[in-house]
């Protein structure tokens, strides 16, 4: 093992919190090892005035970091797992998945305690088509506003606006000690989270068995099984930022319970289904659940949604 390892990270407060969390865990296990953090700017960090769905989603928040990893400019990378493509670049792999934070989405509002409390025609902000689709399915009267930026930036924009509510992931808000803004933890019955939401992943080069062994000590087996099922679901549907897809897996007594959804942009169609089975069949369970939705018209729905995104102009703040 080299005396010093360089960890690649995005520069947002949340990304750096996650990276320094991993760094501290590794330093506890290997006190003699020197670890350095290198900040790398990604496409998603640069293009903040464009809706995520318009940019395209192939490695939006990871490509430049993965290039640095491939070029041996860094030795490992810390990501929000939901940002990673379901198929890794040929020479890279996920070396470890850390124990997951609660994956739910949350409601932020100055005046209202829950989605149910929002008045008719209220304005809600989100940068996610998945959240938009599910919000409008549950509350078709709401008006959705596109918002971009990291977690503190979005909260600041919201505080300075006349918007009634905003939806974010619990994990990011909680990790940055911003829980005081949370008005509601949204139940899964209303909103299924993004694939891998709340989980952190360590990405490594496939040819480095030493670093694989090193980071595996941080791997949480239960989380790994759950996100494997979710990612199998997403990979089969070939989804990303441009389409509304969500999945959530729970592991109980070696059995995975997986629920998945897809929908259209106005929320008028919301396909949900679930499946359960042995944790060792996690990826196959995800694939089978996706096939159940495909049989109900998911592929056609997603194609129509992509076409709608291409011709729709969103106002972004």
pLDDT tier for residue 54 given thresholds of 50, 70 and 90? very low
CA–CA–CA angle 214, 217, 219 (5° rounding): 120
Report yes or no on 253 lying in a domain: yes
Task: State whether 129 and 242 are in the same domain.
Answer: no
Catalytic one of 83, 105, 164, 273: 83
pLDDT at res. 240: 58
What average pLDDT does range 83-100 have in this prediction? Answer: 94
Q: Which domain holds residue 259?
A: 221-312
Report yes or no on 317 lying in a domain: no
What is residue 71's DSSP assignment? T
The tally of domains found in the chain comes to 3
pLDDT at res. 78: 97
Q: Is the pLDDT of residue 103 over 70?
A: yes
Task: State whether 22 and 67 are in the same domain.
Answer: yes
Residue 308's CATH number: 3.30.160.40
Q: For residue 257, with 0-12 CB atoms within 10 Å meaning exposed, 13-18 middle and 19 or more buried, which class applies?
A: middle
pLDDT at res. 88: 87
Task: State whether 77 and 121 are in the same domain.
Answer: no
Whether 83 sits among the annotated catalytic residues: the reply is: yes
Compute and round to an integer the Cα radius of gyration of the chain.
19
Report yes or no on 8 lying in a domain: yes
pLDDT at res. 308: 80
Q: For residue 207, with 0-12 CB atoms within 10 Å meaning exposed, 13-18 middle and 19 or more buried, which class applies?
A: exposed
Task: State whether 73 and 50 are in the same domain.
Answer: yes
Q: Edge-to-edge strand order for the sheet containing 4-9?
A: 34-39, 4-9, 76-80, 200-205, 92-97
pLDDT at res. 238: 81
For the stretch 283-298, pLDDT in tens is 999 999 999 999 999 9
Task: State whether 16 and 89 are in the same domain.
Answer: yes
Residue 173's CATH number: 3.40.190.10
For the stretch 122-168, pLDDT in tens is 999 998 999 999 999 999 999 999 998 899 999 999 999 999 999 99
Chain centroid to CA 108: 18
Please, are residues 182 and 173 in contact by the beta-carbon 8 Å criterion?
A: yes
Task: State whether 212 and 186 are in the same domain.
Answer: no
Q: pTM for the complete prediction? A: 0.92
Task: State whether 213 and 257 are in the same domain.
Answer: no
Task: State whether 115 and 154 are in the same domain.
Answer: yes
Task: State whether 209 and 261 are in the same domain.
Answer: no
**How far apart (Å, rounded) are the C-alpha atoms in residues 52 and 61?**
11
Of the residues 192, 207, 239, which one is the last residue of a structural domain? 192
Task: State whether 122 and 162 are in the same domain.
Answer: yes
Question: Average pLDDT of the chain?
Answer: 91
**How far apart (Å, rounded) are the C-alpha atoms in residues 99 and 80?**
12
Q: Is the pLDDT of residue 315 over 60?
A: no
Task: State whether 241 and 304 are in the same domain.
Answer: yes
Task: State whether 256 and 292 are in the same domain.
Answer: yes
Report yes or no on 150 lying in a domain: yes
């Amino acid at each position: 093992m080299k005396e010093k390892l360089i960890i690649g990270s995005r520069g947002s407060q949340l990304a750096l919190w996650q990276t320094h969390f991993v760094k501290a865990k590794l330093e506890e296990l290997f006190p003699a090892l020197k670890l350095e953090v290198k900040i790398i700017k990604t496409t998603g960090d640069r293009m903040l005035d464009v809706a995520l769905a318009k940019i395209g989603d192939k490695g939006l928040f990871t490509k430049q970091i993965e290039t640095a990893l491939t070029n041996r400019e860094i030795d490992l990378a810390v990501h929000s797992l939901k940002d990673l493509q379901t198929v890794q670049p040929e020479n890279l792999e996920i070396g470890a998945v850390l124990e997951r934070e609660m994956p739910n989405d949350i409601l932020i509002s100055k005046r209202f305690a829950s989605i149910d409390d929002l008045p008719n025609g209220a304005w809600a902000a989100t940068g996610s088509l998945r959240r938009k689709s599910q919000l409008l399915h549950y509350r078709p009267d709401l008006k959705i506003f596109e918002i971009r930026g990291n977690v503190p930036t979005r909260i600041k924009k919201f505080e300075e606006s006349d918007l009634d509510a905003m939806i974010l992931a619990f994990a990011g808000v909680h990790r940055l000690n911003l829980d005081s803004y949370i008005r509601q933890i949204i139940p899964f019955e209303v909103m299924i989270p993004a694939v891998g939401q709340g989980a952190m992943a360590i990405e490594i080069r496939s040819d480095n068995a030493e670093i694989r062994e090193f980071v595996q000590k941080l791997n949480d087996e239960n989380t790994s099984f759950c996100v494997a099922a979710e990612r199998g679901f997403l990979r089969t549907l070939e989804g990303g930022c441009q389409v509304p897809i969500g999945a959530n897996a729970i592991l109980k007594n070696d059995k995975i319970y997986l629920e998945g959804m897809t929908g259209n942009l106005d929320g008028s169609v919301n396909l949900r289904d679930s499946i359960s089975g042995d944790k060792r069949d996690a990826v196959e369970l995800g694939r089978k659940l996706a096939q159940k939705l495909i049989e109900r018209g998911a592929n056609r729905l997603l194609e129509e949604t992509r076409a709608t995104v291409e011709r729709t102009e969103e106002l972004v703040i």
